[in-house]
Amino acid sequence: MADPRLFLEALSALSGCNVQATDGPSLLNPQDFVNIVALTEFYKQEGLQELDYPSVGTLSLQDLDEEDIYNSPPALAEGPATAGPEETLRTRVKINPEDFFHHEFDYDFTNVQDVGATFLRGDERYIRPCGWNRVALRVVQKYDGGDGWLGEGKDAWPVSFCCHNMDGDHGVILTHGGSPNDEPSFLDAAAASVFTGAMRGRGLYSTPDIKMAEKYCKTFKSKVDGKRYKVVLQNRINPEKRLKCQQEEVWLVYVPEGCSDVQTRTIVQESIRPYGLLLKQV
């Protein structure tokens, strides 16, 4: 297993927070991190500059675009720190690694090659993250309804990977299913697409293709070993909430116009669940 401090650096890069270890209770759980990542990208699409998140406060979306902000905080454990100006401005978030990670289910795909192999999750093809090292997140028995969403059978949710800085041109909706098409705002947008020729997706982007995720992932330089890493969240996506786009490897969770911050956060929580933190040395 890699140095545990590296995992906290990766979470810092993903969230824009200064993530540190604690022996006490975690301030955020894995679902909170995927919420922050997804909402950050969505609000940036909407042209907003800040994200307010419970237990964290206000996060600047402008700062997340600066390369320096991806550099990890120098102190990843409790105690005195000699943080630089970027780190001291970032919100400090403490997590308990024992409660947050589930190392029993870690899997190192670094030297794995799936040539000719086909894997399925929820009747959808699963492209395993070959070349990456996956650190498992503690999500078993954390959601109502059991752990079927995390399995391999027909009731399992398909696998998706979070993307960073995808614009609306990627999200031209081709098909839709499940509850989003019952929303009046969704129907209005669909009707408008008859005149525009395409409906650019307003919502939360992810992809079932790790190669596309790698093109749109975050990177950071580790203060633990001085190396650069790419980092991606591996998730399961609710098939009833996911829309397939014209670009085959792009999936969208639609967010209707007029949703409040609470409603938007609820859509994320009902649609995307994380279970792995992926790292790859650049």
Q: Is 80 part of a structural domain of the chain?
A: yes
Are 21 and 8 a contacting pair, CB within 8 Å? yes
Whether the per-residue pLDDT at 69 is higher than 50: the answer is: no
* Separation of CA 258 from chain center: 23
181: which 2 tokens? 């098409």
Whether the per-residue pLDDT at 7 is higher than 60: the answer is: yes
Band (pLDDT 50/70/90 cuts) for residue 75 is very low
Neighbours of 71 (CB within 10 A): 18
Coil, helix or strand at residue 234: strand
122: which 2 tokens? 């929820």
Element (H, E) at 276: strand 272-281
Band (pLDDT 50/70/90 cuts) for residue 55 is confident
Look up the domain containing 51 and give its range.
Answer: 4-163+210-234+261-281
| Whole-number percent of the chain with pLDDT over 90 | 66
Q: What was the pLDDT predicted at 245?
A: 86
* Separation of CA 133 from chain center: 16
* Separation of CA 117 from chain center: 26
Band (pLDDT 50/70/90 cuts) for residue 154 is confident
Instruction: Tell me what the mean pLDDT of segment 1-13 comes to.
Output: 92
Q: Is 175 part of a structural domain of the chain?
A: no
Coil, helix or strand at residue 69: helix
Q: Is 48 part of a structural domain of the chain?
A: yes
Task: Read off the DSSP letter of residue 91.
Answer: P
Whether the per-residue pLDDT at 218 is higher than 80: the answer is: yes
| Whole-number percent of the chain with pLDDT over 70 | 78
272: which 2 tokens? 């995307």
Question: Would you list the DSSP string of 156-220?
Answer: SPPEEEE-SS--GGGGBB----SGGGGSHHHHHHHHHHHHHS--B--EEEEES-HHHHHHT-EEE
Q: Is 196 part of a structural domain of the chain?
A: no
Whether the per-residue pLDDT at 29 is higher than 60: the answer is: yes
Q: What was the pLDDT predicted at 163?
A: 80
Q: What was the pLDDT predicted at 88?
A: 54
Amino acid at the residue 235: N
Q: What was the pLDDT predicted at 4?
A: 92
Coil, helix or strand at residue 95: strand
Q: Which of 99, 79, 104, 122 is nearest to 28 (CA)?
A: 99
Q: What was the pLDDT predicted at 39?
A: 95
Band (pLDDT 50/70/90 cuts) for residue 72 is very low
The residue behind tokens 């759980």 is 29
Task: Read off the DSSP letter of residue 27.
Answer: S
Torsion angle defined by CA atoms of residues 148, 232, 238 and 122, in that order, rounded to the nearest 10 degrees: -50
Instruction: Tell me what the mean pLDDT of segment 33-43 comes to.
Output: 94
Domain count, the chain: 1
Coil, helix or strand at residue 212: helix
Q: Which of 92, 128, 89, 90 is nearest to 112 (CA)?
A: 128
What CA–CA distance (Å, rounded) separates 156 from 126? 11
Q: What was the pLDDT predicted at 90?
A: 80
Q: Is 197 part of a structural domain of the chain?
A: no
User: What's phi and psi for 21, nearest 5 deg?
Assistant: -90, 150
Q: Is 76 part of a structural domain of the chain?
A: yes
Q: Is 226 part of a structural domain of the chain?
A: yes
What CA–CA distance (Å, rounded) separates 78 from 33? 20
What CA–CA distance (Å, rounded) separates 158 from 252? 13
Each residue of 159-208: pLDDT tens digit?
999 988 765 555 455 544 434 444 545 444 443 433 343 456 789 999 99
The residue behind tokens 């009833």 is 240
Whether the per-residue pLDDT at 64 is higher than 80: the answer is: no
Band (pLDDT 50/70/90 cuts) for residue 116 is confident
Q: Is 148 part of a structural domain of the chain?
A: yes
